[in-house]
Amino acid sequence: MAALVVGAGAGIVASSSDAAPTLIRWIEPAGLIWVAAIRMTVIPLVVASLIVAVADTDARSMGRLGIRSLGVFLLLLSLVATFTALTAPAVFDLITIDATAAASLRADVGTGVALPTLPSFTDWLVSLVPVNPIAAAASGAMLPLVVFTIAFGLALGRVEAVKREAVVGVFRAVASAVTVLIEWILKATPLGVLSLAFVVAARIGTAVVGAVAFYVVVYAAFLIAATLLVYLAVALLSRTRVSTFARAMLPAQVVALTTRSSMAALPAMVVAADRSLALPSTASSFGLPLAVSTFRLNQAVSWVVMALFAAKLYGVELSNITVISLAVTSVLMSFSVPGIPSASLFVVAPFFGALGIPAEAIGVLIALDLLPDLFKTLLNVTAQLGAVTIASGGNPASELPASSLPLRETP
C-alpha cells in the first residue's frame, strides 16, 4: 500500500512534467519484469494443483455429502456469477477515464487491444479439446488446457494406487515448488507496485485517483452483496435459521478478516458446525475441508469486476457476450485457484491477454487488492460453512442454546 501511494503520487506529479516520458522509460521495466515473473508461474501451478485435486478425489467414495456439496458449490457460483455479469457492466459504465490517457496507456505498453474474432459455437466447442496440450500451454490457451488436465486427473484416479501416488506425488511437489517461487516473487511486490503505479499515474494523471477509489468501493460492495446472498441461500435451502447461522459464523469471520485466510478460519468453522449448528459429524470431518480446499465463491465476482475495471483503465471495450463468457469461465476455473494472496489474479492473467487487456493491468490490480481481499476472504469463509450447512440439510436442533447441544470431539 505504501508503494502504491508513493508510486501514484510521484506519477501524478510527474504527469505534468516534460520529463515524464523519460522517467516512464526508466522506471517501467521493473514493473514489467515483475509481471512477467508472475505470469511464468501460472500454467505449472494451475496444472499441478488441478491434477492433484482431481486425482485425489474418488467420486465413488466421496459419499452423498460430497456430491451435494459440489452441487451447492456450483449453484452458488452460478448465481453470483450471473448476478455480477448482469449488473457490473452498468455500474462500471459510470467510470469515465480520459480517452487520450487510455490511448497513451495502450500505445506505451505496446499491446494491441482489439478483441479477437469470436469463433462460432461449433468451433469454440471443438477447440475445448486440445489436439496438442503442450501447444495449448505454450500459447496460453487455458480453457482447453484445463479440460485436458481434468480429464488426465480423472483417468489418473482410476490407476492403481501405487502408480497413481507416484505421479500425483510429482505434481504435488511441483505445486509446492511453484508456490515457494510465487512467495519469492511476491517479496518484490513493493518494487513492482511502485513501478506500475508510477507509470499508470504518470500517463493518466489525477483521473486515476477517482477511478481507483470507485473500483475499490464497487468491488467491496459486490463482495458484500454476494455474502448476503449466502445468508439468503441458507435461509431458503436449509433447516437452519439464518439468525443461528449468522451467530455461528461470527468467530470464523473474525479470524477471516484478521488473517485473510480461509484455512486459518477452518478450526473456527469446525467448532461452529459441531457445536453451534449441530451438523452431522461428516460436515466437519469431510465437508468443510472439501469446501476450504476447493470452494472460493469470490471468483464469481472477482473475474468480472477486475476485467471491467482493467478494460476501462486501458480503453478496451468488452461486449456483453465477452462478460458472460468470462463469468462462465470464472465458475469453471474457481476450483483450480490456489490458496495464496491475490490468487485469482495469477490465474486470470492469460484470459486478460485474450480479451486484449495488457498483462500490466495484473500488477495494478494486485496493488489495489489489499482492501478487497478482506471482503473476498469474508465471502469465501461464509460461503464455505454456508454451503456445507445447506448440503447437510441443517439441523433444527441448532435452535437450542449452545450449552444444551451435545459436544463432539472435533478432528
Distance between CA atoms of residues 376 and 344, nearest Å: 11
pLDDT of residue 170: 92
Give the residue, 44 or 196, on which the prediction is more confident: 44
Q: What percent of the chain has pLDDT over 70?
A: 77
Task: Kindly tell me if the per-residue pLDDT of 259 is higher than 60.
Answer: yes
Task: Kindly tell me if the per-residue pLDDT of 235 is higher than 50.
Answer: yes
pLDDT band at 234, cuts 50/70/90?
very high
pLDDT band at 406, cuts 50/70/90?
very low
pLDDT band at 403, cuts 50/70/90?
very low
Give the residue, 263 or 246, on which the prediction is more confident: 246
Residue in this structure with the C-alpha cell 516534460, named with its chain if needed: 18
* Set of cell numbers at residue 253: 469471520
Q: For 312-364, how does the pLDDT look when each residue is reduced to its tens digit (9 = 90+)? A: 877 788 888 888 888 888 887 777 665 555 666 767 777 777 777 877 777 77
Spatial CA neighbour of 348 closest among 299, 406, 402: 299
pLDDT of residue 396: 60
Report, as an integer, the average pLDDT of 199-227: 81
Q: For 119-155, how does the pLDDT look when each residue is reduced to its tens digit (9 = 90+)? A: 555 776 787 788 888 887 777 666 677 778 878 887 8
Task: Kindly tell me if the per-residue pLDDT of 223 is higher than 60.
Answer: yes
pLDDT of residue 390: 92
Count CB atoms within 10 A of the CB of residue 152.
Answer: 18
Give the residue, 71 or 5, on which the prediction is more confident: 71
Instruction: Compute the Cα dihedral for 113, 114, 118, 119 and give only its sign.
Output: negative
Task: Kindly tell me if the per-residue pLDDT of 222 is higher than 50.
Answer: yes
pLDDT of residue 364: 72
Q: For 77-99, how does the pLDDT look when each residue is reduced to its tens digit (9 = 90+)? A: 999 999 999 999 999 888 776 66
Report, as an integer, the average pLDDT of 238-258: 86
Count CB atoms within 10 A of the CB of residue 316.
Answer: 23
Cβ-Cβ contacts under 8 Å for 141 (sequence gap 6 or more): 127, 130
Whether this model's pTM surpasses 0.85: no
Distance separating the N- and C-terminal Cα atoms of the chain:
38
Task: Kindly tell me if the per-residue pLDDT of 226 is higher than 70.
Answer: yes
Give the residue, 355 or 71, on which the prediction is more confident: 71
Give the residue, 395 or 161, on which the prediction is more confident: 161
Distance between CA atoms of residues 151 and 155, nearest Å: 6
Report, as an integer, the average pLDDT of 199-212: 70
State the number of CA atoms in the 13 A half-sphere of 271 facing the CB.
Answer: 13
